Amino acid sequence: MTARHDSTDPISPLVRTLLTELGEDPARAGLVQTPSRVASSFRYLLSGYALNLEDLVNGAIFDEPYSEMVVVRDIEVYSLCEHHLLPFFGKAHVAYIPDGRILGLSKIPRIVDMFARRLQVQERLTTQIGDALQSILEPQGVGVVVEAIHLCMAMRGVEKQNSSAVTSSLTGCLRDDDKSRNEFLSLIGHR
C-alpha cells in the first residue's frame, strides 16, 4: 500500500463525512486537509496488509549449527485496536531456539511490524508473530511476549491509564521445557 497525499484517496470523503457527523465543519481552516491526512495516516498505520511473510523474509534464512536461544527484546510495537480503532503500543520480546537454521536478526522486528500494522487484538498479534517464526524456521521452540498499553482502556471505557496487558505465545521447548521457558523469561526481564 502506498500512501496517497491528496484528496483523491477514497478514504478522504469518508473522513469528511465523519467530521460532519461529529458536528464539525470540514471546510474550517484547521480541518480542510484533515481528510487527506487521516487517509494517508491510516494507509501507513495499516500497511501490514500489503506485506506477506515470504517477501518480507526474502531468503534471509541461513543454515547454521547454532542451537542456543536467540532473543530480540524490546521491539517497539504500535498497532490499532480493531474494536475502537485506537492505538495500543508497547514492546515485543521474541525468542527462538534454532534447529539448524537461523533468521537474519532484522527480520524479527519486521515480522512484528507486519502483523502490528493491521487492525489487531494483542492476543492475535502475539500468536501471529510466534506462528510466523515457527512456520519459516521450524525451530525447537518459539517464545513471544507482548506488553502493551491500550488507549481504548486508558482514554475511554474503564479509563485505567496505568494498566498494561501482557500476552504470550510459546511453542515447542519454550512451552514444554521449564528450563528453556524460564531462561527466556529471565532474558526478557520477567519472573
| Residues known to be catalytic | 81-84, 122, 150, 152
Contacts with 154 (C-beta within 8 Å, 6 or more apart), sequence order: 160, 161, 163
Q: Measured in Å, how far apart are the chain's first and last C-alpha atoms?
A: 40
Torsion angle in degrees (nearest 10) through CA of 174, 171, 169, 43? 130
**Sequential DSSP letters for the chain:** -----STTSTHHHHHHHHHHHTT--TTSGGGTTHHHHHHHHHHHHTGGGG--HHHHHTT-EEE----S-EEEEEEEEEEEETTT--EEEEEEEEEEE-SSEEE-TTHHHHHHHHHHSSEE-HHHHHHHHHHHHHHHH--SEEEEEEEEEEHHHHTSTT--TT--EEEEEE-HHHHH-HHHHHHHHHHTT--
